[in-house]
Amino acid sequence: MFFQNQSAVLPIVRRARLIVRSLGLATAVALAIVSSARAQSPAAQATTTAKTPTPAAQATPTAPQAPTVALEVVPDRDAVERQQTVAVVVIVTNKSDASLTGVTVSVPSAAFKPAVAVTFPADVSPFGTAHATITLQPEAQAAFGAHKVAVVAEYSWAGPAGARRSAQTATVSLQIKRRFEEETKGLPGGTAAFLYLLLPVVPAFLAFDVVDRLRKGETLRMPTFSTEHIVPAFLLSLLFSIGFMTAASFNVELAYSDPGLFLRVLALSAALGAGVPCVRWLYAVVVRWRWAFTNDDTPAEYLRKALLGPRAPSDYVWIEGTVGSETWEGVRLRQPDDTLVLGVRLQATAATGAGGTVREDVWTTLTTEIFEQTALKDRRLLVKLVKTGAVGLRFQQKIIRGGQPIDGAVAVDGLAGLKETSGKSTPKPLVEPVR
């Protein structure tokens, strides 16, 4: 019976084994597919790479870290004039465990310069502080207004590769102000500007007053600037302002805050003011030398001065007058300074030729071009012919002093205070042509 059952079971067992084998093959194929997918994935590759031994990477060297340093700059004032100085306290704080050596402080500024040599402690210990005071002064041509001034602190420190040099920079705001700026703020509106304009003009008026009195021979006194001078002073101040603006267009700054420039402006103003009477004085000297009558004048010189001088009249008058009890008669004339003198009346004659006869050409010129009857038409031509000798001169009516004729063409002295006699003044020609 057992064997009968066994023959019946054998086919079943065989089928089971076949099924198991089929399942085993399918499982193997599935495992192979999964393994292949894992091998192609990045994670698998990374795992494989990690499992593969690689040589150790070398460490990259890092740059040394500079020590932490704080720089603080504190001025003792915010505004300063050009000729003043400002004290600036420089504080260097070392916030690291490295020592700072060779510490130097500089001020690279175009508007300010150190008034004295800058000195600073050479070394700053770890976590230490050092400070010093720098005295700064504005440059002579520095512009007015606010400036940013840089202060640079340089120092050395020890690193792994040796000594290194670093720097820290701080800025401080400083203003360059004009002189009297604070004082003018207290003046009423417009007054400061008006005084600023008048300042360079006042010395000109004062110098003019002093030199002009010397020119006139008057007694010197303390110069004054009165209200009558305000209008011309204001006009002159406008001219000064135009000059300042012209200078500014060429980047030349004219500021009274500079004492040297201030003195030069005042000196220039005084020189210009004194120059006006000096020029008049020099002109008067030249005119007096050329045109003033003297007791030694010849008839030709007398005629030139009487006809062409700056005080030559258009019509000549023969006058009579007295000085005290002394009587005078002559042609009334004036010196360049308006002083009274008396002159003679002359006759103009044509020069004679080789035979002693009158030169007709000269006589024709006298009677047609120079004179019209007794009226003188061309003064310059007459003076020219007298100078060349073509026309001669002789006295027609001399000067009378005390009832007696005197020699000379002109009387200069003794006429101060002459009082003309009423009704005795007669217009007469200074010179007449005579054949």
Scan for tokens 């110069």, then name that residue: 223
Which residue matches tokens 């004036």?
334
Question: Residues 63-102: pLDDT tens digits?
Answer: 667 889 999 999 998 998 877 889 999 999 999 888 899 8
- pLDDT, position 98: 87
With helix as H, strand as E and coil as C, how does the chain read?
A: CHHHHHHHHHHHHHHHHHHHHHHHHHHHHHHHHHHHHHHHCHHHHHHHHHHCCCCCCCCCCCCCCCCCEEEEEEECCCEECCCCCEEEEEEEEECCCCCEEEEEEECCCCCEEECCCCCCCCCECCCCEEEEEEEEEECCCCCCEEEEEEEEEEEEEEECCEEEEEEEEEEEEEEECCCCHHHHCCCCCCHHHHHHHHCCCHHHHHHHHHHHHHHHCCCCCCCCCCHHHHHHHHHHHHHHHHHHHHHHHCCCCCCCCCHHHHHHHHHHHHHHHHHHHHHHHHHHHHHHHHHCCCCCCCHHHHHHHHHHCCCCCCCCEEEEEEECCEEEEEEEEECCCCCEEEECEEEEEECECCCCCECHHHHHHHHHHHEECCEECCHHHHHHHHHHCCEEEEEEECCEECCEECCCCEECCCCCCCEECCCCCEECCCEEECC
**Maximum CA pair distance of the chain?**
213
Please tell me the predicted confidence (pLDDT) of residue 354: 66
pLDDT given for residue 17 in this prediction: 64
> What is the predicted pLDDT for the residue at 61?
56
Predicted confidence at residue 272, as pLDDT, reads: 86
Q: Which amino acid is at 316?
A: Y
Name residues of the chain where pLDDT drops below 70.
1-64, 179-197, 225, 244-245, 247-258, 354-356
State residue 44's pLDDT score.
45
pLDDT value of position 47: 45
Identify the pLDDT of residue 261: 75
For residue 108, give every residue at least 6 positions away whose Cβ sits within 8 Å of its Cβ, in sequence order, or none.
150, 152
What integer pLDDT is reported at residue 160 of this predicted model? 76
Looking at residue 16, its pLDDT comes to 58
